[in-house]
Structure 1
Amino acid sequence: MHGGELSGESTTPRTGAIVVFYNPDTACVERANRLAAIMRCVVVDNTPSVLTSRELGLSESVEYVSNGENVGIATAINQGVEALIRDGFEVAILFDQDSEPPASLFTELPMVIARANETGDRVALAGPAYDDARLRGVAPFVRFKWWKLERVAPEGDQPIDVDFLISSGSCVNLRWWSSIGPMEDALFIDFVDLEWCVRAKQRGCRVLGVPWVHMSHELGGEPVRILGRSYPMHGPLRHYYQFRNVIALMKRSYMPRAWKTTELIKLPVRILIYSLFPGQRLLHVRMALLGLRDGWQGRLGPYCGRTAER
C-alpha cells in the first residue's frame, strides 16, 4: 500500500461523494449514477431551473438537492458536506459534474485520511494529481513561493505537502471541517478552494497531494498557445470572478504574502492575454476590469451586472 499501512483494527472511514451540477447533460447524470452505485452520493444542482431527480434521470440512491439558481460552487459544496455530516460520514470526495475519477481514487484517498486520523496527524485534505492532455499532461503540485509558484512533480509513494489543491477529486477530512469552517459563500467561484486550503493550514492542518493517484481533469477552459506555452481560458464572466476574488483575497492579512507576490506578477500578464487572444476581447477586458474594481471595493457574491458569457 502507498503511504504506509493501516493497523489491523483500522477501517476505511465512511466516505461519501458530492457532485455539483450546472446545466448537466446526459453524460453528467450517468457519471453521478455510476458513482451512486458504489458509494453515498449527494448531487447539488445549481442549474437555474427546478427539476426533480426523476426528470433528470438520476438514480433513486442519489440524494438530490436542487437550488433552482446558481448559488455558487462554495455554497453547493457546503450543502453537500452538511448532508454527509448529518448522516455520520467522515470523509467527503468533491467532484465537478465532468470529473472522471479512477477507481483507485475511491480507496487510496480515504486511506490517506484514515492513516492520518489513526496517527493523530491533522490532515484536512488529500487530492490526486491532475492529468490534462491539453496542458502537457500531468500537472505538478504547487507551493507558494515569493514571486513564483514552486511546482512539485507528482512522483513517489508518499503524500506531498502542498499549499492548495483544486476541489474536484479532492478528499475532505470532515473531522476538521467545523474547526476550519465551510467554503466561503461570498467568493462564489474561483479561488474558493485556495482560500479554504489557506485557512486549513493556518489552523494547523496539512494539505496533501497524493502522487500515485491521477485523475483526468480539464484545468480551465479551452487553452490558447502563446510562445509555445498553453494557457487555459474561460468566458468573460469567469474572468470577472477570477480578477475580483484575487484582489479581494490580496487585501486580507491572513493570505500568504508569497502567494500575493505571484498574483501581482500574473495580473498584468492575464490582462494582456485577454486583450490579444480570445474572441470577444473587449468583453473579456471589461469584465476583468470590473472584477478588479469590485474586488477592491469588497463587492462579493454573484455578479449582478449585465449578463456576460460564462
Structure 2
Amino acid sequence: MHGGALSTSPRAGAVVIFYHPDAACIERANRLAAAMPCIVIDNTPLMLEQAELGLSAAVTYVPNGANHGIATAINQGVERLIQAGFESAIVFDQDSDPPAILLQDLPQLIQAANTKDERVALAGPAYSDARLRGVAPFVRFGWGKLTRIVPDGREPIDVDFLISSGSCINLRYWREIGPMDDALFIDFVDLEWCVRAKAKGFRVLGVPWVKMTHELGGEPVRIFGRAYPMHGPLRHYYQFRNVIALIKRASMPLTWKTTELVKLPVRVVLYCFFPARRSEHLLMVWRGVCDGWRGRLGAYRPR
C-alpha cells in the first residue's frame, strides 16, 4: 500500500472504481492519491499497465481485466485496506471529485464513533447534480414513498441508505455486516448493504455539512419540466432485475418494497418511451424483470 503525500489522522484509505476511464478520471485519482492512500480497482475489460494509463506511482492499481461489477470491485478494495490495517474506506466512482472536507470529516466521524463504541457502519455526504435538482435530500423508507430530509445543520442524520460514491465505510464492522452482494453486480448494491447493516443494529449517517458533486446517469430527460436521470438499456436491465430480485427477499423492508412497487410502472414509462432506442430499452427492462423473478443474477448474459 502506497502512502499519499498528505495523511489524515484516522487510518483512512480510498477505493476508486474504474471502467474505461478517461484522462479526467486518471487526473482525479492521482489528485486523490496525493491526499490519502488510494486503491484503484479497474473493471475495464483490458489488461492495462499503471504507467500506460498515466496513474501516479502513489496509487495501488488493481486491473481486473474484466468487468466484475461494482460490488466485487468495492469488496476487492476494502479487503486490501483491511489487510493493511486501515480503519475506514471511502468509496468513489471514477467521476467523483470529493472536496477536502469529505476526506477529512468522514473518517474523523467514523473514528470518533469507534472511540465511543457507537455502532456506525457508514457515513456519507449529501450530493448535488446540477443537471437534476441541485442538492439531493437524504432519505428514509416510507409506505409507498420515500421520506426526504433536507441536508442541513451540523449534526449527522440517521438515514436508511446512502449511495456508495463518497461514502465512508467503517471497517471495524465489515466482517460482521458482510461484503457487498456480488450477485447484484451494479444497481442497488449500496442500498442492500445499508439495509443489511441497519438490520444488524448499525447506524447509517448522512453528513449534511459535507457535499459532493456527483452525476447520476447520463444526460437527463425532461418531462413536464422535471429532469430524470437516464441510463443505457443494459443499465436499465440491472435496475429492473435487481429491484425484482430484492423485492422477493424477506430481508428487505416492506416500506422499501411498497415504494419500489409504486415507482416501477413510472420507471417503465420514463425509461422505455422517452429515450431513443425505445424498443431496446423495453426489451432489456423485460429481460431484467424476468431474470430478477427467476433469481438469475450476476453479470448480464446475452441471449
Q: TM-score higher than 0.5 here? A: yes
Distance 1:149 1:31 in 2: 33
Q: Give the drift of 1:244.
A: 0.2
Q: Distance in 2 between matches of 1:179 and 1:139?
A: 30
TM-superposed CA distance for 1:229, in Å, is 1.4
Aligned match of 1:28: 25
Displacement after TM superposition at 1:20 (Å):
0.3
Q: How does 1:1-310 map to 2 (within 5 A)?
A: 12-305=9-302
The runs of 4+ residues in structure 1 deviating greater than 4 Å are none
Secondary structure, aligned partner of 1:134: coil
Give the number of aligned pairs.
296
Shift of 1:70: 0.3
Return the offset for 1:114.
1.3
Structure 2 CA distance for aligned equivalents of residues 91 and 118 of structure 1: 13
Kept in 2, the 8 Å contact 1:92–1:172? The answer is yes
Q: What does the per-residue CA deviation read over 1:205-238, in whole Å, with 9 as the maximum and x for residues that have no partner?
A: 0000000000000122211111221110100000
Cα distance between partner residues in 2 of 1:157 and 1:192: 28
Q: Which amino acid aligns with 1:84?
A: L
Q: State the superposition RMSD in angstroms.
A: 0.9
* Contact 1:154/1:212 (<8 A) preserved: yes
Aligned-pair distance for 1:120? 1.2
Alpha-carbon distance in structure 2 between the residues aligned to 1:30 and 1:193: 26
Structure 2's unaligned 5+ residue stretches are 1-7
Question: How far apart are residue 275 of structure 1 and its match?
Answer: 2.7
Which residue identity is paired with 1:128? P
Give the Cα–Cα distance (whole angstroms) in 2 for the partners of residues 274 and 17 of structure 1. Answer: 33
C-alpha displacement at 1:35, in angstroms? 0.8
Tell me if structure 2 keeps the 8 A contact 1:126–1:210. Answer: yes
Identity %: 71
Q: CA deviation at 1:13?
A: 2.0
* Cα drift, residue 118 of structure 1: 1.4
Q: CA deviation at 1:272?
A: 1.1
Distance (Å, rounded) in 2 between the aligned partners of 1:88 and 1:280: 48
CA distance in 2, matches of 1:85, 1:115: 19
Inter-partner Cα distance in structure 1 for 2:47 and 2:272: 37
Q: CA deviation at 1:250?
A: 0.4
Report the CA distance between 1:270 and its aligned residue.
0.8
- Is the CA contact (8 Å cut-off) linking 1:12 and 1:114 kept in structure 2? no
Rounded to whole Å, the distance in 1 between the matches of 2:250 and 2:155 is 32
Instruction: Give TM-score scaled by structure 1 length.
Output: 0.94
